[in-house]
Amino acid sequence: MSSRKWPGAPGVTVFKLSLLLCCIIVELWVWLVSKLVGLGLIALHWIGLGWIGWLVADWLAR
């Protein structure tokens, strides 16, 4: 209902950047753990995606 709108919607940009950063961190973590432990990369990748989904859902629920 507010008439004030921010040009470029900085909140959306911050959200996208933080989401991208989370994805990069998780992908690096998945790669490192798969190299160290030698487990299946696909299983770890799905665990990482689930973790990202949980973080995003928790953040959006606030």
Residue 12 belongs to a domain:
no
Residue 21 belongs to a domain:
no
Per-residue pLDDT of the chain (62 residues; tens, 9 = 90+): 444 555 565 666 777 778 888 888 888 887 787 777 666 666 667 777 778 888 888 888 87
Q: Find the domain containing 60 and state its range.
A: 38-62
Residue 48: exposed, middle, or buried by beta-carbon count in 10 A (0-12, 13-18, 19+)? buried
Smallest CA-to-CA distance from 23 within 46, 48, 5, 42 is with 48
Tell me, rounded to whole angstroms, the distance of Cα 43 from its chain centroid.
Answer: 17
| pLDDT the model gives residue 1 | 46
0.75 exceeded by pTM: no
Residue 53 belongs to a domain:
yes
